[in-house]
Structure 1
């Protein structure tokens, strides 16, 4: 990739740091950002000088999720409509299987520890970036949420919710659109620790450097042992199955409104502006 526009990448102390760099849009993910993220994760994966990978976001919020458009057109926005303006589920399914579920699944299985530094709001599609990570350090103002039931969809594409949160808490967040904060995240083991906002990046780097002192092959084997255990329990099969459930939501929206989602976004956008 010749130039990074929405993501920054740097290495130091055997740690690769990938930074979402679209703070004016609350790091909302358009197609180019996703491609840049995948490029950077792959660069870190195959760099023998890198032992640990950190993902973080500039600005007040880690990520507002997928970029669903706004007043100004975005030349890097996802466009899956046919030339006549019609939407077809097959095209949407193939694109999301590659760039949402596919990218996230690849990041989850990189044989190096990955750590997320998460602050502010982490909404819906932000979870596609967070669930694949091995460890999380959160700021004390963090708020996880997935309010896409408001759009008649059962959850985002990489649906690790039940594994990360437990069945009843996952249902609670989806049914009520409530947020999950720092204290609760640490209490349930979702986050390793919560720190003051101004300490988030430094503390995450400290942890990454500490882990990077270990034998790289040992780290890779430890990660594989845990991931493989989850997969034997049905993790990958569940992700694939629920991705199909997610896609049925798009099919329903197309049949009702001719658009892949039922656009009930005012409440979501207003909450983001007020925070």
Structure 2
């Protein structure tokens, strides 16, 4: 296992799987500006690393992340609203953008609470594995704020409009089993099995053609904002590209040879 040094996150590589661990356990991995900057740098670095096929995102200690660091929010009260808007976008939202748009599969392994912007980072991931003690919350309303990091866009698409309004507007915490039932989570497992399950998903994904996986992720995500006709048109574009890849041709050849 190879570690890459950061202050507020830990990045480790196990063969072709990278694990990013938010590492402020004494603060329940609350998102200060420095952690978010390190997240952006780590995601950029791992995206460009051809050895890395899959990324797992998790938190150290007893939480995934409690969300924004309330202790630092008072500093924002002094900022001009336009500067504050820019600063907010360049932190939480830019991490969400990377998780959503980078073509490598990203798995959230959620232990304990995932709140605020960190909840939305998890929802932006391609797969969410949760421990039995996990809880998800758009808790912004409790500090007089609205969701950031894409929560108002991601959550309704996962659970429907009415449930999303209940979770966001009432600041409701959603336990792991309910989160699985309503579509926020792929799988709930005992806490001791969380990372092994996430790694099992990662190994399966890492065994598949990376360009094809990236094309599939891009095709699905793009379809979220297009009509059926536009989605099918984009599918055919990506399919034509995939037909030209070595991965497709080699797998077709292997399949036909196996049938002989």
TM-score calculated relative to the size of structure 1: 0.76
Q: Does 1:68 align with 2:60?
A: no
Q: Deviation above 4 Å: which 4+ runs of structure 1?
A: 77-81
Counterpart among 163, 174, 191 of residue 157 in structure 2: 163
Determine which structure has more spread, i.e. the larger CA radius of gyration.
2
- Aligned pairs, number: 222
Partner of 1:204: 198
> Could you say which residue in structure 2 is the equivalent of 1:149?
141
Question: What is the rounded CA distance, in whole Å, between the counterparts of 1:125 and 1:80 in structure 2?
Answer: 18
Contact 1:31–1:78 at 8 Å: present in 2 too?
Answer: no
Tell me, in whole angstroms, the C-alpha distance in 2 between the residues paired with 1:211 and 1:168: 33
Whether 1:133 aligns to 2:125 is yes
1:224 aligns with 2:226: no
Match in the other structure for 1:46: 48
Ranges in structure 1 where 5+ consecutive residues have no aligned partner? 70-76, 234-275
Secondary structure of 1:131's counterpart equals: helix
The aligned residue for residue 244 of structure 2 is none
Bigger proportion of residues as helix: 2
Is 2:15 aligned against 1:13? yes
CA-atom RMSD in angstroms: 1.8
Unpaired stretches in structure 2, ≥5 consecutive residues: 228-260
Q: Alpha-carbon deviation of 1:80?
A: 5.6
Q: 1:80 to 1:179 in 2, by over 3 A?
A: closer
Report if the CA contact (8 A) 1:146-1:156 is conserved: no
Task: Determine the structure 2 residue equivalent to 1:174.
Answer: 168
2:112 counterpart of 1:120:
yes
Q: Name the CA shift for 1:17/1:86 in 2 (closer, same or farther; >3 Å).
A: closer
Of stretches 163-172 and 211-220 in structure 1, the one that deviates more from structure 2 is 163-172
